A and B are shown apart, each in its own frame.
Chain A
C-alpha cells in the first residue's frame, strides 16, 4: 500500500481526473461549476440505498441513510462508507442488503471492499460515527441503527471486527433505543474518545403505531410527535476496549428527547466539550459539560432553554434534525446550526459569549432560503479556501406523499450552498452549478477531500437512492494548507483542538469539533484556506486536554497536506 502523500499522487490523480471529468467540468463557457456531480460510472460507486419502502410506511424507512468519509486504511486518501437499511421487525428483505465501504483508488474512482473489510452491517442501519477510540491510528466505526448498532474496530489491515458486545455496546444496552447520530469526543479529557449516541423515539417493541390513512387513502409516515421520546446515551471509554454508560442520573438521562443530530463543541471556551443535540418535535438540548464533581463524575447541565436554543422565538419546539457548530463569524466563539422541517425555517445561533445565543438565520439569508425545506445533513466548511467557513445544506421532505398535499413543498428538495462574505452568509446556490438546480431526497451529508486537491468535496446520502458525490472545483486560485492532527496525550483524533493561522495579514482560527451533520462523519483533516496569500506565516495548535499544550509551527508548505503529531512536530508524509 502506497504511503506517498500529496504532491506526486495528487499530480497523478489530477492528470487522470482531468481526463475523466474534462467534458463534464469544462464543456461549457465560463469555466467549471463550483460543485460537479460525479456520476456512478465515473466514481465506481454503484451502491444504492434501500429504504425498505412499504405501503405501511414504517417511520425508519424515511430516516436514512448516513454516510462517511474516512481513511480506513490510513493511506492518506479518503474512502467512503455508506449505511443501508436491513432486516428488522417490519422488514424482511427479499435479497441481501448491506452497507458499503468504498476504497479510494486515488484516481477519482472507488472500489467496493465491503466484504473483505467485514463491514456489511446486518441490522436496519441509520448512520455512522467515525473515531479512533483505541488510539491505534486507524479509524473505527460506530454504526447506528433501528435495531442493533455495531461497533466496528479497525484491525489496521483493511478489515474490521464487530466488537459491540465485547466493548459493552451490545444489543442489550440499546434495547428500546433507535439510535441515529452519534459522536466520538473526549468529555473527561482523559485522552480517549468517548461516545454519545442520539436516541430517537420509542417506536414500540413489537407492534408499531400507525397513523392511519391520509386523504389519499394511504398510510403515511407518522410525525414523530405521536411517539414517546427517549433519553440519549453517553458512554465512557474505559481505555481497555470497553465502554461504560455514564449518563445515568445526569441531565442526559433526565432529558427525554427525540435525538437526531449531535455535535460536540466547547460553547463556552472552558476547555470541555459540550453537546448540542437536535430533537425532532421536542426542544433541542444543550448539555453543558461542567467538569467532574467531588466524586470525579462529570456533571452535565441541560441549558437549552436558558441558552435560547431549545425553542423558536415563539416558544415552540421545532423539528430539529441536522446540526453543526462552527465559529462562522470569526469572533472566537462557536456558533450553532439546526436544520428543521418545512415552515419552521432553519436556525443559525450566534454565540453571545455568555452561554446564550441569538438566532441570526434571517440576517444570513438562511431563514428565507429554508422556509419550504426540511434539512438533514449539513456542514460548515470553507469550500473556496478563502479562510471563511461557508455552509452546505442537504434537504428532503420526510413525507414521500407531500407533493400531493402541497403546491410548494416537495419530497425531493434542492441542495443549498451559502458563501461566507466576511462573517455574513449569502445564498449562492443559484450560481454553484447545475446540481443545485436538481432535487434529492437527501439525508446524510459528509465532507471530505477525496482527491487531495485541497478543495473539500461533498457526499450526500439519498433516501431510497444512490448517493451523490460532488467534486469541488471552487477556489482554484486560492491557497491552502491541509492538516491532519494526531494527538498523543490528548485523544488521537485531536477532537477539540484549536488551530490558529495568520496569512495575508489576517489571522484565522478553527476548532476541530466532533460530529455534526446528520447520521454522518467527515474527513478528519482540516483544510486551512488562505485565499490569495502565498504562505501560512505560522500555525498554532492548541491541543485539547489533558495536555492542553500549545505548539507553533513555521516554515510550513502550501497547497498540500501535512501531519502534525502532538509534541513531535510536522510530518509531510502520511500520518501513520
Chain B
C-alpha cells in the first residue's frame, strides 16, 4: 500500500547499507566508502553520490556499494540512473532480493509501474512472506488495474491479519474495483468498527461509485477529505465523483491535488487529461495522457487518448499508426475504429475509411442487440 511504502525506499536502502560488509578494500577506497555512507545516512545524498562513484571506480565489483549508490540516486530523484546502478548490481547477484526490491521501488518512483511490478513479483516469488514486497506489488497491480491479482495476493494475508487496516483498505479497494462491492462492504464495515476514518469513507464512497450512486459517493469522499486530505487516491475518487455529478471545475481541482502528491496516479492523469482536452488545453492534456501511459505502458485508454490528441493536433499519420495497432490488438474498441475511420477519411483513403466505418456499424449493431430493451417486443 502506498501509505506504508512512502519513504520505504530510503529506509530499506540505509538499513541494508548499515549491515554491509567491509573489508578487502584499499584504505583510500575504504575511506571513500565510509565517507559516502556517512553522508548518505546524514541525508546529504547529493554529496554521497560522487563519493560512491569514486569508490566504485576503484572497486567496481562491490554490489552493496553499487546498490547504495542506487539508493542515493533514487533519494535524489535520479531514478533512471538509480535503475541503471541497480541493474548492474543485479548482473553480479541476480538473486539479491533486497536489491531487486529497491530496483522495483526505483521503477515505481520513475512511474514505470509495469516494470516495477515485474521486479517486485520476482521478489515476492522468492520471499513470499516479505510483506513490504507484497504491499508494493499489490500497489503496483492496483495501479495497473490488475485487481484480481491484488485480491489473490492479499486475501491470504487478510486471514492472517484481519485487523491490518492498511491491508484491508487495499484489498477492499481491489474488491470494489473488481465489481465485488458486497465483499468490499464487509471490509468497510470492519474498518468502521474502529470508528469513522478517511479510509473507511473512501472505501464506502468507492463502493457507492461502483453501483453508480455518485451523489452518495460524493458525500463520503467529502467526509474523507475532512478527516484526512492526504489519504492516497482520495482526491482521485473525489474528482471522479465530482465529475460524475457535474462539477467538472472542482473535479479538475481534485485531480490536480491528487497529482500534486502522487504524480503517478493513473486515474487522475487520464481524467484530468480528458477534462483538459474538452477545454482544448491540448498541451497539458497530452502531458497527462503521456504520464498515464508511463504508469501503464500498454494501457489502451491512454494510448487511445494520445492517438486522439494526435488527431486533434493534425498529426494524422502518428494517429493512424497508433490506432491501427490499437484496433489490431483490441478489435472491439469501437472508439478507436471511429477515430481510425476519421484518420483514413482525412488521408483521402476512402476505401479504408469505409471499411472502418463498416466495422463501427457492425460493432454498434452487436452492442445494440445486446441491450435489454432491444430484445423485448
In the assembled complex, B360 has its CB within 8 A of some CB on chain A = yes
Listed stretches B27-35, B91-99, B243-251; interface member = B243-251
Q: For window 181-228 of chain A, which residues contact chain B by CB distance below 8 Å?
A: 201-202, 204-209, 211, 215, 222, 225-228
- CB-based contact B335/A204 at 8 Å: no
Whether the Cβ atoms of A342 and B246 lie closer than 8 Å is yes
Is the Cβ of B377 less than 8 Å from the Cβ of A204? yes
Q: Contact at B335–A207, with CB atoms within 8 Å?
A: no
Distance between Cα atoms of A178 and B304 in the complex (Å)? 37
Which among B339, B342, B371 is the interface contact of A226 at CB below 8 angstroms?
B371
CB contact between A407 and one of B245, B312, B335, B371 (< 8 Å): that residue: B245
Interface string of A60-94 (1 = CB under 8 A from B): 00000000000000000000000000000000000
Q: Which residues of A contact B364 (CB under 8 A)?
A: 282-283, 317
Q: Give the size range of A's interface with the partner.
A: 35 or more
Q: Which of B278, B304, B308 contacts A367 (CB 8 A)?
A: B278
Q: Is the beta-carbon distance between B278 and A305 smaller than 8 angstroms?
A: no
Asked if residues B338 and A407 are in contact (CB atoms below 8 Å), the reply is no
> Is there an interface contact between A362 and B214, defined as CB atoms closer than 8 Å?
no
Q: Complex Cα distance A407/B251, Å?
A: 13
* Contact, CB under 8 Å: A372 / B368: no
The reply to whether the CB of A555 lies closer than 8 angstroms to some CB of chain B is no
For the complex, give the distance between the alpha carbons of A451 and B152 in Å.
Answer: 74
**Contact indicator A315/B308 (Cβ below 8 Å):** yes
Chain B 232-252 interface 0/1 with A at a Cβ cutoff of 8 Å (1 = within): 000000000000011110000
Q: Are B371 and A227 in contact (CB under 8 A)?
A: yes
In angstroms, Cα B335 to Cα A209, docked, is 28
* A-B contact number at CB 8 A: 105
Does A15 sit within 8 A of B, measured CB to CB? no
| B-side contacts of A356, CB under 8 Å | 345-346
Cα A209 to Cα B372 with chains together (Å): 8
**B231 at the A/B interface (Cβ < 8 Å)?**
no
In whole Å, how far is B309's beta carbon from the nearest beta carbon of chain A? 10
A404 interfacial by beta-carbon distance below 8 Å: yes
- Check A535 for interface membership: any CB of B closer than 8 A: no
Question: If the complex has contacts A227-B374, A228-B368, are A407 and B280 also in contact, measured as CB distance less than 8 A?
Answer: no
Q: Which residues of chain A from 216 to 252 have a CB within 8 Å of any chain B CB? A: 222, 225-229
User: DSSP class of B's interface residues: helix, strand, loop or mixed?
Assistant: helix
CA distance A306 to B346 in the complex (A): 8
Residues of A within 8 A of B246 (CB): 342-343, 371-372, 406-409
Task: Identify which of residues 336-377 in chain B touch chain A, using a CB-to-CB cut-off of 8 Å.
Answer: 336-339, 341-342, 345-346, 350, 353, 357, 360, 364-365, 368-369, 371-374, 376-377
Any A CB within 8 A of the CB of B218: yes
Q: Is the CB of B248 within 8 A of A207?
A: no
Interface residue count on the B side (C-beta < 8 Å) = 41
Chain A hits for B346, CB < 8 A:
356
Asked if B371 contacts A362 (CB within 8 A), the reply is: no
Cα–Cα distance between A283 and B361 once the two chains are bound (Å): 10
Q: Is B253 in contact with chain A by the CB < 8 A criterion?
A: no
Minimal beta-carbon separation of A310 from chain B (angstroms): 8
Let me know if A4 is at the binding interface, CB within 8 A: no
Quick one: which of A227, A308, A367, A405 contacts B215, CB cutoff 8 A? A405
Structural contact, B341 and A407, CB atoms closer than 8 A: no
- Docked pose: A342 CA to B374 CA in angstroms: 24
Contact of A41 with B by CB under 8 A: no
Contact of A363 among B280, B335, B368 (CB under 8 A): B280
Q: Chain B nearest CB: distance from A357 CB in Å?
A: 12
Inter-subunit contact B341/A222 (CB<8 Å): no
Which residues of B lie under 8 Å from residue A205 when comparing CB positions? 377
Is B368 within 8 A of A315, CB to CB?
no
B312 in complex: contacting residue of A201, A226, A313, A368, CB < 8 Å: A313
B334 contacts chain A at the CB level, 8 A cutoff: yes
Which residues of A lie under 8 Å from residue B278 when comparing CB positions? 345, 362, 367
Residues of chain B with a CB closer than 8 A to A313's CB: 277, 308, 311-312
User: Closest residue to A403 on the B side, CB-wise?
Assistant: B215
Q: Considering only CB atoms, which chain B residue lies closest to A225 in the complex?
A: B371
- Against A, the Cβ 8 Å flags (1 = close, 0 = not) of B193-225 are 000000000000000000001110010000000
A407-B377 CB under 8 A given contacts A226-B372, A305-B338: no
On chain A, the residues within 8 Å of B336 by CB distance are 315
Q: How far is the CA of A396 from the CA of B218 in the complex (A)?
A: 24
Please, which residue of chain A has its CB at the minimum distance from the CB of B346?
A356
Give the residues in chain A near B329, CB-CB below 8 Å.
none
Whether A175 sits at the interface, judged by CB under 8 Å, is: no
CA distance A282 to B247 in the complex (A): 25
Q: Are A204 and B376 in contact (CB under 8 A)?
A: yes
- For A311, give its contact among B304, B338, B345, B373 (CB under 8 Å): B338
From residue 354 to 392 of chain A, which have CB atoms closer than 8 A to chain B?
Answer: 356, 362-363, 367-368, 371-372
> Is B213's CB under 8 angstroms from A229's CB?
no
The docked-state distance in angstroms from the alpha carbon of A226 to that of B247 is 27
Q: How close is A283's CB to chain B, nearest CB, in angstroms?
A: 8
Shortest distance in angstroms between A343's beta carbon and chain B's nearest beta carbon? 7
Given A227-B371, A305-B360, A407-B246 in contact, is the A209-B376 Cβ separation under 8 Å? yes
Q: Is the CB of B341 within 8 A of A406?
A: no
A226 touches B373 (CB 8 A): yes
User: Whole-angstrom distance from the CB of A527 to the nearest CB of chain B?
Assistant: 34
A314 at the interface (CB under 8 A from B): yes
How long is the Cα–Cα vector from A356 to B342 in the complex, in angstroms? 10
Expressed in whole angstroms, the minimum distance between the Cβ of B95 and any Cβ of chain A is: 47
The complex places the Cα of A225 from the Cα of B214 at a distance, in Å, of 20
B376: chain A residues at CB < 8 Å are 204, 207-209
Contacting pair A408 B334 (CB below 8 A):
no
Query: Which of these, A209, A363, A408, A409, contacts B373 with CB under 8 Å?
Result: A209
A187–B377 CA distance with the chains assembled, in angstroms: 34
**A211 CA to B323 CA in the complex, in Å?**
35
Determine the distance from Cα of A173 to Cα of B252 in the docked complex, in whole angstroms. Answer: 50
Interface residue A316 (Cβ < 8 Å from any Cβ of B) = yes
In the complex, the answer to whether A226 meets B374 with C-beta atoms within 8 Å is yes
Q: Which 5 pairs show the lowest CB-CB distances between chains A and B?
A: A408-B246, A315-B335, A226-B373, A315-B338, A209-B373
- Name 19 A/B residue pairs within 8 A (Cβ), A-sorted: A201-B373, A204-B373, A206-B377, A209-B372, A227-B374, A229-B368, A305-B342, A305-B353, A313-B312, A314-B274, A315-B304, A315-B308, A315-B335, A315-B337, A317-B364, A343-B246, A367-B278, A407-B246, A408-B245
Interface residues of B (CB under 8 A from A): 213-215, 218, 245-248, 274, 277-280, 304, 308, 311-312, 334-339, 341-342, 345-346, 350, 353, 357, 360, 364-365, 368-369, 371-374, 376-377
Chain A residues in contact with chain B, CB under 8 A? 201-202, 204-209, 211, 215, 222, 225-229, 256, 282-283, 305-306, 308, 310-311, 313-317, 342-343, 345, 356, 362-363, 367-368, 371-372, 404-409
